[in-house]
Each structure stands twice: as C-alpha cells, then as structure tokens.
C-alpha cells in the first residue's frame, strides 16, 4: 500500500526555498531571477539554480523577454505535485488509523482477559 512518488517532483517541492519560490511566483503571477532574489535572503545565482531545478521538474516555465527571463508556474504540473503530496498523506493517515484500530483491539482483548 506504499504510494509511489515521482522523486524528482517530490524533491522539487520538498525544499523550503523552492516552495517559497513557488509561493512568490503564484502570488505575483510571474517573476525574474533578480526580482525573486530581491524578496529572498539568497543571491540571484542561487535563485537561478533553484529555478533550474523547478524547471527540470516541469513546475515552472521561463520565457525570455528582452534581457529578462520571466518565470511562471506550470499550474497543471503543480496540481500533479499537490496530488502526490495528498496521496502520501492519505496513505500514511490510513496506515496510522489501521494501527490505532489494532492497538485498541489489543487493549480491549487484554481487558477481556
């Protein structure tokens, strides 16, 4: 019953910096490495690297406009990632509930002894 996860996608949204980048891009609609680095405590080059990871995972998309590289979130792909997130959560949830039920049954059994 283990949920199989696209590791590249998961690890892309697993990193706190990358989650923040996605948050900013979603909030503003789009952003450039420079504009994003202005709003984060890391340099433009670091932002560029992380955007590269998100790009390879298909979570964002860049379009060169003049001398800028304008990034946007790929909403469909992010929706896919969110679905995986939820799947893993649900799977663990179910397992935890199953365990709890068993534990309660044991306890009841002991009381019955």
Partner DNA sequence: GTCATGCGCAACCACTGGTTGCCTATGCGG
Partner DNA sequence: CCGCATAGGCAACCAGTGGTTGCGCATGAC
- How many angstroms separate the CA atoms of 27 and 24, rounded? 5
Binding flag, residue 96, its own copies (CB under 8 A): yes
Is residue 7 part of the contact set for its own copies (CB under 8 A)? yes
Interacting partner of 85 out of its own copies, DNA, none (Cβ under 5 to 8 A depending on kind)? its own copies
Residue 60, token pair as written in the block: 């964002």
Phi/psi at 2 (nearest 5 deg)? -70, 130
Q: Any contact of residue 41 with DNA (CB under 7 A)?
A: yes
How many residues line the site for DNA (CB under 7 A)? 21
63 contributes a contact to DNA by CB under 7 A: no
Backbone angles phi, psi at 73, to 5 degrees: -75, 135
């Amino acid at each position: 019953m283990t949920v199989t996860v696209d590791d590249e996608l998961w690890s892309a949204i697993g990193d706190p910096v990358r989650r923040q980048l996605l948050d900013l891009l979603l909030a503003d609609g789009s952003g450039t490495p420079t504009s994003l680095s202005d709003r984060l405590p890391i340099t433009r080059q670091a932002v560029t690297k992380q955007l590269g990871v998100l790009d390879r995972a298909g979570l964002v998309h860049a379009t060169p406009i003049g001398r800028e590289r304008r990034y946007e979130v790929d909403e469909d792909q992010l929706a896919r990632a969110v679905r995986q997130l939820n799947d893993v959560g649900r799977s663990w949830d179910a397992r935890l509930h199953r365990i709890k039920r068993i534990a309660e049954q044991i306890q009841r059994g002991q009381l019955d002894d």
